[in-house]
Structure 1
Amino acid sequence: MNSPLFSRRSALQTLGCGFGYLALAGLAAQEQARAMTTPVANPLAPKAPHFKPRAKRIIFLFMQGGVSQVDSWDYKPRLIEDDGKMLDFEDLRSLARTGKSPQMRAMKSLWNFSQQGQSGIWSSDLFPEMSKHLDDMCLVRSMHTDGIAHGPATLFLHTGTTTFVRPSMGSWVTYGLGTENANLPGFVTISPSLGNGGPRNYGNAFLPAIYQGTPIGRAGVPAKDATIRNLQPARSMDEAKKQFDLLRDLNAEQLAQKPGESELDAVINSYELAWRMQGTAPEVLDFKNESPETLALYGIDEDKTDNFGRQCLLARRLCEAGVRFVQVNYGDNTNNPAWDQHSNLKKHGDHAKAVDKPVAGLLADLKQRGLLEDTIVWWGSEFGRTPYAEKNGTGRDHNPAGFSLLLAGGGFKKGVAYGETNEFGHHAIVNKVHMHDLHATLLAALGLDHEKLTYRYAGRNFRLTDVYGNVVHDLFA
C-alpha cells in the first residue's frame, strides 16, 4: 500500500468500482477533508437571483432544423396572391456564394390558416393542437439570428456564438441559480443530437464541469429506452464498504495535498451528485404512477406521438422534481436534421404530427398542475425558412432573417403576437428580436441580469450575450 507505484489513479482503475460507490467515496472524502481544508460548498446549491424572478425554470422544446414560419405561425396573404411568380428576394446563400441574388419563385403555404381562440391569432392547421393553446402563449414573429447553416445557427441558439467554445444557456442558468433539488442535476437535455454542435450545445465550456448538461438518451434512440448511464450500483454493499474505506483515504489525502484544485473538485462533486441521484432519479424516470389519462394527454402509446410524448412527459417530471433547465430535442443525428425540408416541404406535416399533441399535452398538464405560472415553455428552432421555393423546387431554404417562436408561462404575455416580418414573411421588420435579445429576456424572467451573470476566464469576463442583447420588456405581462 505504501509503494509509490500504487497511485490513486491505478487504484481506481484496478478496483473498477460502481459509479455510485465512487460517489459515496467522494462524499466521505469531503467530510474528512473539511477537517483539514476550507469547507467545500455545494456548487449546485440554490442561489439568490439578481432581482425578483417571474419564473423558476425553463423547458426548451428544440425543433432541430428550422420550422417554416410562413407555414405555421406567420400568415402572409401576399404569398397566396403571388404564388408561382418569379420575384426579387434577397437570397442569403446566393449572395454569400456569388454576390448576386437571382429571382426566386414565391411559394404559398401548403397548409390553411385561420384565427384561433379569443385572441384571434392566425395559425395554420399544421399544428392544430398547439393552436388551441395560443390564448396562453406569446407568439414572437420577429426573430432573427446569426448563422445561415445549421451548425453555426444551432451553436448560436445554445451558446450565443457561432464558432467559439462557450457555455450553453442551460449551463449559464444553472451557474446563476443552482438547482431546486440537490439530488438531481440542474440541467438535463433529453435525446440530444450528436450533430451540429453535439455536446457543445449542452456543454459547460470554461464554467466548472458541474454545470454541464446531463444527457438522457440521444437522438435516434427510442425515448422509452432512454436512461442515465451507470445509474444502478454494480456491487454488493459488503464489497462497496471495502472499496469505500480505501477510496476515502485516497481521496482525503488528495484533497489535503491539493485543496481547491478545480479538476479534483469537479470529480468529487460529480461522484457526490451521482450517489445522490441513485436514490431519486430512478423514480423520476419511471412513468408507472402516471394515470392512463395523463399518458393519453401526451399521446403515449400512439404510433406517431409516443416517442416525443415520452420526452415531454419526462420534462414535466424533471421540472416537477426541481431540475432548473430541461431541453427536449426533436431531431436526429444527421447534418440535415428533422425540419430541414429543402425539397419536400410536405414532410413538415409528418414532423408536426409527431410533436403537436405532445406539446399541447405538456402545456395542458403544466397548467392543470399549477406549474405553468413559474415554468417557461420555449418552443422554437435555430432559424426559419424562406418564403420562396429553393431552386424553384418543392422545398424552402434556411432563413435566419425572420422567423417565429412560442413562449408560454413564466410571466410572459398570453394571447399576444409580437413583432412582424415583411409582407412575404422573409425579414423581421417590426419590433425585431435578435437571439441575443431572447437570451437576455429569458434570463430576466428567471431573475438574472444578463450583464451581471458573468464568469472570468482568460483575463476577461464572459457572459451568454457577450456584449450584446436587450431585454424585451414588452413580452412580459
Structure 2
Amino acid sequence: MQKEIFEHGLNHNRRKFLSQLSLGIGSVALGSLLIPDLFSNNNPDAIMAGLPHFAPKAKRIIYLFQNGAPSQLDLFDYKPKLQEMFGQDLPASIRNGQRLTGMTADQKKFPLAGTVFQFNQYGKHKAWLSELLPHTASVVDDLCIIKSMYTEAINHDPALTFFQTGAQVGNRPSMGSWVSYGLGTENKNLPGFCVLLSKGKGNGQGVYSKLWSNGFLDSFYQGVQFSSGENPVLYLNNPDAVSKADRRNMLDKLAELNDENYKTFGDPEINAKVQQYELAYRMQTAVPEVTDLSKEPESIIKMYGADCLVPGTFAANCLLARKLSENGVRFVQLYHQGWDAHGDLPSQIKGQCQDVDQASAALITDLKQRGMLDETLVIWGGEFGRTNYCQGTLTKEDYGRDHHPRCFTVWMAGGGVKPGVYGETDEFGYNIIENPVHVHDFHATVLNLMGLDHEKLTYKHLGRRYRLTDVAGNIVKGIIA
C-alpha cells in the first residue's frame, strides 16, 4: 500500500506539508492586506471579488452613452450608393423581411436617403468620418471604430436596457454594477460606479435608474448619480445642527444595531447598507474636492470647450469623468440624451455633434497626456443605429431615420483595444457583411479587457447563476491589442 501511494506521488511528509501550507497562508495574508474587503462578502460567488481573473489591460471605464441612437450613416458609415439611389425604394432583397417599428410599418415605400454631410478619410487607417466630427477626426488614430454592432431589440427601452444590463427586461445588474462587484473600487472614499446625465438639443429619450441599478446584487454596487446642482450627490451633507462628530457617533451606534440584526436574520443586505452609510460619510469630504473644476488650468478648459464650465453639460461631465477616473472610480457612465431623430435629422444631429464632438475628443487627448489612456477604456455609442431609408417625407435637405438594430457603429479607445476599423456593412449600410459583433460579444470583450472572464463573473439568484452575458457572448479578439 505504501509503495502504491509513493508511486502516485502522494507521499507527503510532515515537513513538506507544513512548508506548502505556510506559503498558502502567507498568500492569503498578503491578499487581505492588499485588498481589505477580500473576504468580507457573505456571498460565496464573491469570495474573490476585488481580484481580476487574469492580468487586465484596462483598470477603469468611461462609457459615453449616446442615448437615442446616433445615425451611423451620417457620422461613421459612408455609403455613396445611397446618394446614387437617392429617393429610390430600398430593394426587398436587402431588407429581406426585417421587422419594422410601428412608426414605419405602414409605409408603402422605403426611399433611400443618402447623407447631406461630407465625408473624408482620416488617419493611418483611412477611417471615414463625417464633417460633423472634426475633433473626433483629430484623435481617430486612437479609436477602434466598430461598424458591425448589432442587437435584437428594435425599440428604445428594451435596446437601452439590453446594452446596459445584458437583458431586455428590468431588475438586472447594470454593466457598471457587474464591474464594481467583480473588481471593487480603487478609492474607498468614492463609489466604484458613478453616473452623469446631460441633455442635448435634439429629441430625447428618457433615462431611468434601472439602467444603473444593482439588480439582484448587493445595493452597495448600484451606480451613484451625480447631479449638476449645488449638491452633486443628493442627501450627502449633514442636516443643519448635525456636526461631523455627531454623524460619526450616529453611524457607530447604527452599525451596532445592524450587526445585531445581521446576527439574528443573516441578511447580507444589512451589511451592504452599513457599507453605504460609511461610504456616504467618507464622500462628504471627497466629493466636493473631486467635483471642483475651478482649479483646472486654462489649457484644459480650452481643450474641452467653454461648456465644460457649465454644470450638467456633456463637456462638463466629460471633464468630471476624467477627474473621477483619476481619483479611482472604476466605472463612470455618461448618458447624453437627444439623438432620437425620426425627422429633421440634419438639424438635430448638427446640434448633438456640437455638444459631444469636442469634449469626446478632448477626453481622449486629456487621458493620453496624463498617461491614463492605456489603462482607461473609453466607449462611445448608442443602443442601435438608424435606417438607410427615410421615415416620412424625404427631401434633399431634410429627412428622418427610423430605428435600425441590424448594424450600427460604436467606437472604443485606450484600455487595450486595437486602433483601426473593425467590421463592415453592405453598400446600402443595411446588413453586416464582415465581423458581426453582438451586444453579448461587446460585453464579453469589455469584461475581458478589465481582466474578468464573463463566464466566471456570476451571481446566484433564485436558484440559478446569472452573468452579464447570460448564456452567450464571445470575446472579439480582433479588436484587442
Q: Into which bin does the TM-score normalised by the smaller protein fall?
A: 0.7 to 0.9
> Is structure 2 residue 193 aligned with structure 1 residue 214?
no
Indicate whether 1:201 and 2:211 are aligned: yes
State whether structure 2 residue 319 is matched by structure 1 residue 316.
no
2:237 is matched with which residue?
232
* Displacement of 1:177: 0.4
Query: Offset at 1:158?
Result: 0.3
Name the SS of the counterpart of 1:280 in structure 2.
helix
Segments of structure 1 that go 5 or more residues without pairing to the other structure are 1-38, 218-222, 332-337
Q: What is the 5 A alignment of 1:105-254?
A: 105-191=111-197, 198-217=208-227, 223=228, 227-236=232-241, 241=245, 245=249, 248-249=252-253, 251-254=255-258
Task: Return the alpha-carbon distance in structure 1 between the equivalents of residues 400 and 308 of structure 2.
Answer: 29
Report the Cα offset of residue 76 of structure 1.
0.9
CA offset digits 1:89-121 (Å, max 9, x no partner): 527454879989843101111211111122211
Cα distance between partner residues in 2 of 1:301 and 1:101 = 41
Deviation at 1:254? 3.9
Q: Report SS of the residue matched to 1:105.
A: coil
Question: Given that residues 342 and 396 in structure 1 are in contact (C-alpha distance below 8 angstroms), is that contact kept between their aligned partners in structure 2?
Answer: yes
* Structure 2 counterpart SS, 1:148: coil
Distance 1:195 1:113 in 2: 28
Once residues 68 and 427 of structure 2 are traced to their aligned partners in structure 1, the CA distance between those partners, rounded to angstroms, is 24
Identity, % of aligned pairs? 42
2:401 is the counterpart of 1:391: no
Q: 1:243 to 1:225 in 2, by over 3 A?
A: closer
Q: Is the 8 A contact 2:378 2:414 kept in 1?
A: yes
Q: CA deviation at 1:398?
A: 0.5
Q: 1:305 to 1:106 in 2, by over 3 A?
A: farther
Question: Judging changes above 3 Å, is the alpha-carbon distance between structure 1 residues 457 and 52 closer, same or farther for their aligned structure 2 residues?
Answer: same
1:356-371 matched pairs, under 5 angstroms: 356-371=357-372
* Partner in structure 2 of residue 344 of structure 1: 344
- Which runs of no fewer than 5 residues in structure 2 stay unpaired? 1-38
Q: 1:81 to 1:284 in 2, by over 3 A?
A: same
The 3 A distance-change label for structure 1 pair 52 and 247 is closer
Length-normalised TM-score, structure 2: 0.83
Measured after TM superposition, the shift of residue 195 of structure 1 is: 6.0
Residues 1:377 and 1:82: Cα distance change in structure 2 (over 3 Å): same
Match of 1:371, as an amino acid? M
Identify the range of structure 1 (244-253 vs 49-58) with the bigger mean alpha-carbon deviation: 244-253
Write the deviation string for residues 170-199 of structure 1: whole angstroms up to 9, x where unpaired.
000000000011110000010178965611
Aligned counterparts of 1:177 and 1:319: Cα–Cα separation in 2 = 14
Q: Which amino acid aligns with 2:443?
A: H
Larger CA deviation: 264-273 vs 386-395 = 386-395
Task: Please state how far the C-alpha of 1:41 moved relative to its aligned partner.
Answer: 5.9
Residue in structure 1 matched with residue 76 of structure 2 by the alignment: 73
Cα pair distance change 1:94/1:380, threshold 3 Å: closer
2-structure distance, mates of 1:345, 1:99: 20
Q: Where does 1:430-441 land on structure 2 (aligned, <5 Å)? A: 430-441=434-445
The residue aligned with 1:334 is none
| Structure 2 partner of 1:5 | none
Q: Distance in 2 between matches of 1:348 and 1:263?
A: 44
Alpha-carbon distance between aligned partners in 1 of 2:98 and 2:121, rounded to the nearest angstrom: 32
User: Retained in 2: the 8 A contact 1:166–1:206?
Assistant: yes
Q: Which residue pairs with 2:90 in the alignment?
A: 87
Q: Distance in 1 between matches of 2:101 and 2:360?
A: 37
Contact conserved, 1:300 with 1:307, CA < 8 A, in 2?
no
Give the SS at the match of 1:155. helix
Q: Which amino acid aligns with 1:339?
A: W
Deviation at 1:403, TM superposition (A): 0.3
Write the letter of the residue equivalent to 1:448: L
Q: CA deviation at 1:266?
A: 2.0
Any idea what SS the aligned residue of 2:77 has?
coil
Q: Give the superposition deviation at 1:44.
A: 12
Letter in 2 for 1:366: L
Task: Choose 42-51 or 206-215, whichever is displaced more.
Answer: 42-51
Aligned to 1:427: 431
* Rounded Cα–Cα distance in structure 1 between residues aligned with 2:107 and 2:132: 30
CA drift of 1:375 comes to: 0.2
Matches within 5 A, 1:276-425: 276-301=282-307, 307-331=313-337, 338-346=338-346, 347-393=348-394, 394-414=399-419, 416-425=420-429
Distance 1:339 1:243, change over 3 A: closer
CA deviation after TM superposition for structure 1 residue 69, in Å: 0.7
**Correspondence 1:475 to 2:476:** no
Any conservation in 2 of the 1:189–1:202 contact (CA below 8 Å)? Answer: yes
Q: Is the 8 A contact 1:383 1:399 kept in 2?
A: yes
Letter in 2 for 1:256: E
Q: Is the 8 A contact 1:192 1:215 kept in 2?
A: no
Q: CA RMSD in A?
A: 2.7
